[in-house]
Chain A
Amino acid sequence: MTEAVGIVGAGLTPCKGRWVELSYYGLSQLAVKKTLEDAAIDIKDVDAVVFGIYNDIFEYSAIPEHPLQGIIGMANKPGMRVTCGGATGAYAMLASYTMVKSGLYDTVLCLGVEKCTDCFDFDSMTSTPEVIKSIGWSGDTFYERELGWTASESYAEVVLAYMDEHPNDLKDEVSAEISAILCKQAQNNKYAQRYGEKVTKEMAMNSRYIVYPFKLLETCVYTEGAAGVIFANKEKTNSMCKNSGKPPIWITGVGASNEHHVVGRDFRHKVMHRIYSDHLSAKAAYKMAGVTNPVKEVQVVELHDAFIKQLQVTMAEFGFTKLGHSDDLVKEGLMVPGGPILVNPSGGLTYAGHFVGGSNMLSAWSTRRELIDKQLHRGMIHGTGSTIAQYGCVMIMERRD
């Protein structure tokens, strides 16, 4: 078992609503090329690969990773796919970390890729309804899918239940302001899908509901893209980073938790007004990293913002504010520009992009960038997924030089 696991490189493709020019093969090659360039290593230096690919339907294949193994230069080496709904990327990185931490491999590439808008609805002659339908196969196939289950309404169930318990929290003007903040932050990210776009608080407030209480401009985008992150053991991290001239970023905490998918009265089942998976995964990661007060000890949070109001609930579950007081993220200035916590500094999934299998690798890329460029100490990344926010996965990253 290695003493420490570090990140030695990360790279991504531009995030686009549709990539006509590249299939997921091409996106994967491009992301790996950029990741290797960032780490200043050769693919021959990599021992194993973990693929984060969420949805077979998006890739039009039941084992979509098989053609990638050879074309990214990993033929004859170990490779496995991880799929965990929206949390696919975070879980793929957890698997990569574990493979290195165990001592089995020195260097592991984690590659996340996703197409989605190849899916097309010939009734409305648009992609979106078919993309939603494809995701709809992720709900419980006996009890949910046939009722028109969608990811949006599934997360809306959780948020509405939270609002039942905390009717004075999650005010629309706060969610709208957070959306505007994220849009502004996306302008620091040239890979962002909504780079160059300006969304104000008023525009977010006035945008239409897609599923009550989620509005269009407070919801993540559908994205096609790919991203890679390379994990290495202590020795390799130090030598590779010395070679690339970039400081090593160490993984100091990991945590994961999946809740029951059926709603019940206590935590033997899902308690709808909580995202307990986020709470438990953060708690485990904090314990491992020695974090006791996240507001003071974590400077960057790359949070899986599928929906802005869910971002707020998750921040409360993480302990950055109290449950029922998530509006303090803005009211108390916790995540406003100049505040103590940088949240989704590259625009998050709402504005940078959500290519599901690799979105959390985008988060890792962004967190690492902030830790290096702004010389910060600690950041955390997060993935959430499955029906009613069932899955949660957190990773803590630190710069120690």
Chain B
Amino acid sequence: MARPKVKSKAKPKAKPRAAKSPKVEKVIPLHMIPDVQSEVIKTAEGRYLQSNEAMFTFYKRSKGEQSPYFLGLMEKKQIIGARCPKCKLVRVPAFEIYCPDCQFEKLELVELPDTGVMNSTPPITYFANSLFAHMVPFGRGRVMIDGADTGIPMHVYTTKGVLTPRVFKKNTPVKVIFRKNRLGKPTDVFAVPIAELPEKLRAKKGVEEQELDWSRPVEPPVDKPTPETEKAFKSAFAAFQSMSKAVAKSDRAKKDLAGWKRSIQVKTAGGSFIISIDKQNLTVKPGKAKADFVMVSNNPRLFEDWMNSRESLTNAIIADKLWISKNQEFTTVFKLDRLPRSLRRT
């Protein structure tokens, strides 16, 4: 139930700043902010009221004693640590001012190199929180800078396509790369495998992101059709059509697709088809057309395995059985991955 609009006779106020300057980044993305609204939810127990609300507080937050580290990143492309003159331990970032292990001896700020190794294999996030959903998949690990005794939490990227668990391992040598636009935040830097860098950049201090060769993902070719793959394709396509009908009858599955619109070109060795997600429905039609993104798998049987809960699309991408043209579309892949379970539980 929408709140009734109230007309005002007062002179309209100036447009908010965002309307004047749409490129200004807001601390709360405007698209995340819901309208003021209340609604009635009906359950078996009765009628209940719920309202759109938000718990928000704005800050001008001082980074205080943490400032030298962040200023180092932002202004000088330096990595600043803190060294204890007594125990010689070097802590990076410079997150404290006294050494708790040496009777709170005052620490000394020191500059560290921008190379190091991964402390351990970093996790890769495929399902992020709502502020970071547009960044998936991303890795975050701890870089042990050369000469340091503690690790810096840092995003890790590969310049060679989709990030999989095979790229970074414990002790993988890495180089810290600086963003071009830096705000004194932990996202001002990220790490890449040093092996992906040309020789001239490996020793260079303060390398920025635009100096890297970000290889564009190249769509993998599919094999020529064989009677076997064509048969598997027909079977998979028929299964998709059945799934489409089942989704239309399942409130649970429709909820999975709510508010989402995408077209996906699927290419397999047995043939191609288009998946359309719109208005809480999923439809398929054979052939090729312009789409929001592309999925490629040589094996059409993969999709039947997925529909029968023997495989997930996410895991297939991670295992290199399925290729997608846009990393950001993991969000769509997640919505698709919910469907078999939702249909099973309908």
Contacts and interface: CB of A to CB of B under 8 A. Distances in A.
Contacts of B38: none
B150 A148 contact: no
Q: A-side binding surface: helix, strand, loop or mixed?
A: mixed
A147 B55 contact: no
Interface string A138-169: 00101110111110110011001101100000
B32 A122 contact: yes
A21 B150 contact: no
Contacts of A114: none
Interface string B257-288: 01110000000000000000000000000000
A202 B305 CA distance: 12
Given A21-B43, A263-B151, A211 B126 contact: yes
B34 interface: yes
Contacts of B185: 146
A355 B260 CA distance: 29
A77 interface: no
A143 B152 CA distance: 8
Contact of A263 (B45, B119, B130, B345): B119
A79 B73 CA distance: 46
A136 B45 CA distance: 33
Contact of A272 (B63, B142, B309): B142
Nearest to A56: B55
A215 B311 CA distance: 12
A129 B32 CA distance: 12
Interface string B128-169: 111111010010111010000111111100000000010001
B329 interface: no
B309 A206 contact: yes
Nearest to A122: B34
A274 to B, nearest CB: 11
A160 B121 contact: yes
A157 B130 contact: no
Interface residues of A, number: 55
Contacts of B119: 161, 263, 272
A197 B315 CA distance: 23
A269 interface: yes
B299 interface: no
Contact of A212 (B66, B123, B131, B135): B123
A133 interface: yes
Contacts of B48: 20-21
Given A206-B315, A207-B312, A124 B259 contact: yes
A211 B123 contact: yes
Highest count of chain A CB atoms <10 Å: which of B122, B127, B314, B334: B127
Given A153-B124, A157-B122, A215-B315, 4 more contacts: A121-B130, A143-B95, A208-B313, A263-B150
9 contacts: A20-B48, A21-B48, A123-B133, A132-B127, A132-B129, A146-B186, A149-B140, A202-B310, A208-B337
Interface of A: 20-21, 57, 60, 118, 121-126, 128-130, 132-133, 135-136, 140, 142-144, 146-150, 152-153, 156-157, 160-161, 163-164, 197, 202-203, 206-213, 215, 262-265, 268-269, 272-273
Interface of B: 31-34, 41, 43, 45-46, 48, 50, 52-53, 55, 63, 66, 89, 91, 93, 95, 101, 119-133, 135, 138, 140-142, 144, 149-155, 165, 169-170, 185-187, 258-260, 309-315, 318, 331, 334, 337, 345
